[in-house]
Amino acid sequence: MSSAEVDRYLAVLDPAPRAVLEELRRTILEIVPEAEQVISYKVPAFKVNGEVVAGFAAFKSHLSYLPFSGSVLPRMGAGLASYEMTKSSLHFTVERPLPKELVERLIAVRRGDLDR
């Protein structure tokens, strides 16, 4: 698997969500430049030392950030109060992409879980 598969995932999206997810991809790679880009569970994901630390997906009504751990989002507390989410998916929109600082915190919490 490779970044080419992530390219193919993004290529079929409408321009607006594609642009937002391409920016999120760049942000994740700035935070973890050593990450391997893969497709995991049919969505783009980023592996560090063999463990997925982040991912994203596009849906009809929203975009999702996927921490690939059910423990990450509950531990983020009030910082996520203005977002809709499930236990394992943070929802956002084209009009309100995730800020880099939030992505940094999400990845830091996930990597902290892996270091235990």
Q: What is the CATH number of the domain that holds 79?
A: 3.90.1150.200
pLDDT tens string 68-112: 999 999 999 888 999 999 989 999 999 999 999 999 999 999 998
- Average the pLDDT over 11-32 and give the result: 98
- What pLDDT is stored for residue 53 in this prediction? 97
Percent of the chain with pLDDT over 70: 96
* Number of domain units in the chain: 1
Q: Could you list the residue range(s) of the whole structural domain that residue 25 is in?
A: 3-115
Cα–Cα dist 11/33, whole Å: 22
Strands 89-92 and 85-86: what pairing? antiparallel
> Is pLDDT at 35 greater than 70 in this prediction?
yes
